[in-house]
Structure 1
């Protein structure tokens, strides 16, 4: 029979712990009972966490995500941490036959891996999530994106059957980004992993080719206008071809839209050399032509 290790809370000197309210302090102290445990790297002991368990925990528990956000779970920061390889090896310690604790380091998105956050999750063997914790600023709320990344990694392993496989597949647990290599901006893909970037070659092969629309001939235009006039003579589109209401003949002429010229039309560099009298004279001439 396994015993629960204890921890002397009165020896803590953390100012953060002392500043907590009684409820948060008691819950934090309960978590500290499980420090200094012996964790092992064994995926086959992972609890059967599925997406439904994650959904229930964050909706009914921490409230980190809304229902609408979880329906679009591939766009969440926690999922992208997992997809980007920020979650390191997940270790497990079995409290008893019904409950276990899993912990891992999660690399921050904008900081070097040396400043990774330590996260751990308590869950039942059935997959029900009890609580989470993380050393990041939001970790005390038991629902940060780093702890969500661990849950998404476990969920993916369970879904793909890795937790029931041999030790050779356990190498999947070690598949994380160990080091950020510098690269030129032009070679960096800033899209999220869930965005499934499509190359130009694949885009051309999978995308439906746009259908080329053939320009209608004058006869086809004439037949269309004539037919439309017979079916619906009051159609608004006919007003563009028939300014004067009269029966449409076999030929039609489109109404030319005549708009006044803008002031910029009359600009010319030569006017910079004109005197005031010359400018006034040209203005009078232009005005007469416009009002003609």
Structure 2
């Protein structure tokens, strides 16, 4: 831990106060890309294999990010072009507990130098919570670099899940992490262009009485009887009153030979 503190300019990252000692300004976030995440989680920390990273959308780290378990991302600039990132991630098994604290030390160009998490596996410098924060920063940087999306602030990030409530089955979102990632990519791609075309609503006028009469005549000539004809007086003759069978009286059953 002392070695990590020396790398952080002799600062204990967990003593920093988010928003006071650090800033949530995306402009100071390091330029972390997918390659930097692979380089750190696979080659530096040996946390994941290359095969697992080929299906990174199925990993716990990516699922935590797309599920909205990452919050309070902030950064602090250090010496030698280094940036210290802070973040919080929900527990995977104990959601009501306080979120786990994560810090990541990077170079401004995106190289990840070290990391730490308060979870049981965090001392290894890599875990799913560290990975989730890396994916969150990667997406933040992508949106920051999309010039036409600068006015969206952080609205494009997955909303942080404060707590999980009981819901009816029909109200539960079963969207997979893969689909959520695709939706985020669609937002980023749509914002990468200088101008985003906005579809204009077409004002369609209501049909005239003559147009409606011609329309109904065309339907009638096609030997089709739609349900709407039942409420149009000139076409109601197509619908016959239902014939109801007369109910037999109990007193007449004794005289009815068929009832014997």
Superposition TM-score, scaled by structure 1 size: 0.53
After superposition, the Cα gap between the structure-2 partners of 1:167 and 1:131, relative to the gap in structure 1 and judged at 3 Å, is farther
Q: 2:12 aligns with which of 34, 42, 48?
A: 34
1:181 equivalent in alignment to 2:159: no
Please list the CA deviations of residues 170-225 of structure 1 after superposition, one character each: whole Å capped at 9, or x if unmatched. 344583112212113564355632256xxxxxxxxxxxxxxxxxxxxxxxxxxxxx
Q: How does 1:117-266 map to 2 (within 5 A)?
A: 117-161=100-144, 166=150, 168-172=152-156, 175-185=159-169, 187-189=171-173, 192-194=176-178
- Which residue does 1:66 correspond to in 2? 49
Q: Flag structure 2 segments of 5+ consecutive residues without an equivalent.
A: 181-260
Distance in 2 (alpha carbons) for counterparts of 1:90 and 1:77: 19
Call closer, same or farther: CA 1:91–1:116 in 2, change over 3 Å: same
Q: CA RMSD in A?
A: 2.6
**Distance change in 2, residues 1:147/1:100 (3 Å):** same
SS in 2 for 1:133: strand
Are 1:92 and 1:100, in contact at CA under 8 Å, matched by a contact in 2? yes
8 Å CA contact retained: 1:43, 1:163: no
Q: Secondary structure at the match of 1:56?
A: helix
Q: Deviation of residue 108 (structure 1)? A: 1.6
TM-score, normalised by the number of residues in structure 2: 0.59
Does structure 1 residue 83 correspond to structure 2 residue 66?
A: yes
Do residues 102 (structure 1) and 85 (structure 2) align? yes
User: Where in structure 1 are there 5+ consecutive unaligned residues?
Assistant: 1-24, 197-292
Corresponding residue pairs, total: 172
Contact 2:41 2:131 in 1 (8 A): no
**1:55 is the counterpart of 2:31:** no
Check 1:42–1:172 CA distance in 2 against 1; reply closer, same or farther (3 A cut).
Answer: farther
Q: In the superposition, relative to structure 1, how do residues 192 and 171 fare at CA in structure 2: closer, same or farther (>3 Å)?
A: closer
Show CA shifts across 1:216-266 (max 9, x none): xxxxxxxxxxxxxxxxxxxxxxxxxxxxxxxxxxxxxxxxxxxxxxxxxxx
Query: What's the secondary structure of 2:86's corresponding residue?
Result: strand
Deviations 1:152-180 (A, max 9, x none): 01111222336866465134458311221
Q: Secondary structure at the match of 2:71?
A: coil
Contact 1:85/1:175, CA 8 A, preserved across alignment: yes
**Alignment match, 1:116:** 99
Judging changes above 3 Å, is the alpha-carbon distance between structure 1 residues 87 and 163 closer, same or farther for their aligned structure 2 residues?
A: farther
Q: Using the alignment, how far apart are the partners of 2:178 and 2:96 within structure 1?
A: 22
In the alignment, which residue of structure 2 is the partner of 1:248?
Answer: none
Cα distance change, pair 179–62 in 1 and its aligned pair in 2 (3 A): same
Deviation at 1:26, TM superposition (A): 4.1
Distance, in Å, in 1 between the alignment partners of 2:131 and 2:163 is: 22
**Higher relative contact order, structure no. (Cα contacts within 8 Å, ≥ 6 residues apart):** 2
Cα pair 1:92 1:103 within 8 Å, conserved: yes
SS of residue matched to 1:161:
helix
1:59 to 1:147, Cα distance in 2 relative to 1, 3 A: same
